[in-house]
């Protein structure tokens, strides 16, 4: 194994895995901490559900993943978080990075969330979504990790131990090439900087940064930095997956702007869709929402793919959170969609698209999927994957990723 990756959620893990197979690395994604021998792969991505976990839990799980990857023979390590740098106010990006650095005995690493292919760029230490500051994008309304500050150095500061330096590798330095970046990292290290935020506005910048950090035992970032990685002998079969039969379906729990548009596009095209109204959970006389969704889907699956969604607008999300509480609202939706996923598989669904990191995590856990072989990319950051033990093809989409016609495009690839 060449590379060990620790990802803080399930769709983020698939995101970086898709970049690795593009680089010619045969890649396996595990769901949770692996158990048993290392799979036959050039890279292994351990998908945790640690982004919104309590800090101590996130650190413990990440260190356990690191220990397994080291024992499995990984030579370099990558902590993967979202390209929108979102986490809780207390972490978990800073605390996990610090713990991994300490375990590996390294004194500096880079913080590189940029993913220009999906409109995430960093300039002057500020994160942009398209041409909008992160703090003015739809991420300011995220139900679990709202991002109201685009200055990455300022976001990171309260997450790291007091007195540990945070620095910036500016775009002007990156534009001069890998040697210039290495010199700047040496300068920052000499000043006591432990965390170096890096500007990057295009893929060329990411490739420079990947080259400049090739001797660091640990890098951190979104999936973009992986674009600069290259296998010494790229595998021509890195994206090959077996065909499966059966029905197809989409489950959407993300409430991001992108996913709302994708749900609306599916409905506008006349395809069958069923909305789960979270306000009806536990209402007197209301049917069980998962059972109702499955009863609706059962007679329609033979006619083609169906969409079942709990995706809502920001105002609707706030109303649900006010009614149930933020944490309980999320649990109710995740549990419902996970039960729907199990029911759909029982009905013969073998090609399943999920939208949203929390939704995807709940679904794979409910289906008892523990390992995925990574296949071809649908849109940047979103591949098809194969769960061999269940005979399923799964595409797990981060809420903010994908073109407006993503659902139909994804299922069209494996029709």
pLDDT over threshold 90, residue 38:
no
355 neighbors 378 (Cβ within 8 angstroms): no
What is the mean pLDDT of the segment spanning 45-71?
94
308-367 pLDDT, tens digit per residue, is 999 888 888 888 888 888 778 888 899 999 999 999 999 999 999 999 988 998 999 999
Q: State pTM to two decimals.
A: 0.79
Strand partners, 396: 354
Percent of the chain with pLDDT over 90: 66
Burial (CB < 10 A; 0-12, 13-18, 19+), residue 217, is: middle
Res. 233 pLDDT band, cuts 50 70 90: low
> CATH says 3-228 is which class?
alpha beta
Phi and psi at residue 31, to the nearest 5°? -100, 105
pLDDT over threshold 80, residue 1:
no
Q: Where in the chain is the domain with CATH 3.40.50.10840?
A: 3-228
pLDDT over threshold 80, residue 145:
no
Peptide bond into 253 cis (omega under 30): no
Structure confidence at residue 149 (pLDDT): 85
Structure confidence at residue 232 (pLDDT): 62
Higher pLDDT, 389 or 259: 259
Phi and psi at residue 318, to the nearest 5°? -60, -35
Q: Where in the chain is the domain with CATH 3.40.980.20?
A: 247-411
Extract the tokens encoding 350: 């073998």
Residues with Cβ within 8 Å of residue 202, at least 6 apart in sequence: 116, 121
Q: Quick one: 247-411 is in which CATH superfamily?
A: Four-carbon acid sugar kinase, nucleotide binding domain (3.40.980.20)
Structure confidence at residue 331 (pLDDT): 87
């Amino acid at each position: 194994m060449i590379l060990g990756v620790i990802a803080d959620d399930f769709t983020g893990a698939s995101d970086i895995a898709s970049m690795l197979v593009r680089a010619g690395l045969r890649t396996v994604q595990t769901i949770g901490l692996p158990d048993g021998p290392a799979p036959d792969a050039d890279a292994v991505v351990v998908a945790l559900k640690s982004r919104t976990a309590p800090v101590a839990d996130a650190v413990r799980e990440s260190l356990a993943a690191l220990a397994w990857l080291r024992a499995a023979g990984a030579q370099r390590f990558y902590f993967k978080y979202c390209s929108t740098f979102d986490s809780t106010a207390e972490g978990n990006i800073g605390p996990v990075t610090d713990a991994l650095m300490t375990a590996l005995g390294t004194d500096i690493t880079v913080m590189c969330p940029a993913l220009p292919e999906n409109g995430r760029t960093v300039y002057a230490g500020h994160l942009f979504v398209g041409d909008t500051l992160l703090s003015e994008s739809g991420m300011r309304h995220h139900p679990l990790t709202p991002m109201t500050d685009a200055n990455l150095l300022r976001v990171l500061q309260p997450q790291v131990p007091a007195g540990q330096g945070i620095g910036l590798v500016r775009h002007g330095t990156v534009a001069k090439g890998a040697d210039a970046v290495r010199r700047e990292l040496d300068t920052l290290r000499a000043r006591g900087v432990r965390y170096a935020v890096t500007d990057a506005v295009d893929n060329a910048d990411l490739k420079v940064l990947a080259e400049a950090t090739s001797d660091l035992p640990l890098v951190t970032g979104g999936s973009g930095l992986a674009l600069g990685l290259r296998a010494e002998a790229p595998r021509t079969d890195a994206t090959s997956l077996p065909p499966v039969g059966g029905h197809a379906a989409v489950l959407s729990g993300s409430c991001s702007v992108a996913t709302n548009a994708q749900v609306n596009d599916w409905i506008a095209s006349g395809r069958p869709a069923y909305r789960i109204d979270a306000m009806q959970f536990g209402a007197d006389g209301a049917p069980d929402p998962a059972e109702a969704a499955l009863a609706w889907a059962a007679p329609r699956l033979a006619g083609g793919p169906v969409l079942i969604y709990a995706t809502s607008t920001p105002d609707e999300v706030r109303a649900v959170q006010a009614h149930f509480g933020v944490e309980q609202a999320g649990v109710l939706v995740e549990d419902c969609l996970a039960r729907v996923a199990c029911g759909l598989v029982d009905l013969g669904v073998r090609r399943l698209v999920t939208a949203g990191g929390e939704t995807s995590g709940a679904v794979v856990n409910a289906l008892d999927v523990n390992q995925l072989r990574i296949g071809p990319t649908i849109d940047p950051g979103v591949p098809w994957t194969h769960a061999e033990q269940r005979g399923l093809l799964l595409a797990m989409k981060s809420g903010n990723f994908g073109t407006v016609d993503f659902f139909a495009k994804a299922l069209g690839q494996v029709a």
